[in-house]
Amino acid sequence: QVQLVESGGGLVQAGGSLRLSCAASGRTFSSYGMGWFRQAPGKEREFVSAISWSSGNTYSADSVKGRFTISGDNAKKMVYLQMNSLKPEDTAVYYCATTSNPLRRWWTTEAVYDYWGQGTQVTVSS
């Protein structure tokens, strides 16, 4: 079992910044990567960013490129999402997840993620 705990969400004005953190514990040795997803009210959960533990390569959705940055500390089993230039449409519950799927082309798909955190609310006011 793997436990994931997100933190860092909150209320911020448009144009502001937040930094989300995700702490992983338990049997994390089979994890190839970590991802961030988000779900806005009335919408499906969508991919935001992912990071490979082995290479450190990162992958992001077009909607957040240039504004959000994912980073990780493999030794500490921590993943971060630095969110800058936030927009009201970024309002959502943000989830971190871990995947044991080694094929990075699938990492935008939530079905390949094995464990999920409980989520943290991010609200961006206009």
Q: pLDDT for 48-76, tens place per residue?
A: 999 998 889 999 999 999 999 999 998 89
Q: Phi then psi for 111, rounded to 5 degrees? A: -65, -20
The DSSP 8-state label assigned to residue 27 in this structure reads S
| Residues 66-121: tens digit of each pLDDT | 999 999 998 898 999 999 999 999 999 999 999 998 888 889 999 999 999 999 99
Residue 30 pLDDT level (bands cut at 50, 70, 90):
confident
Measured distance CA(93)–CA(21) in Å, rounded: 13
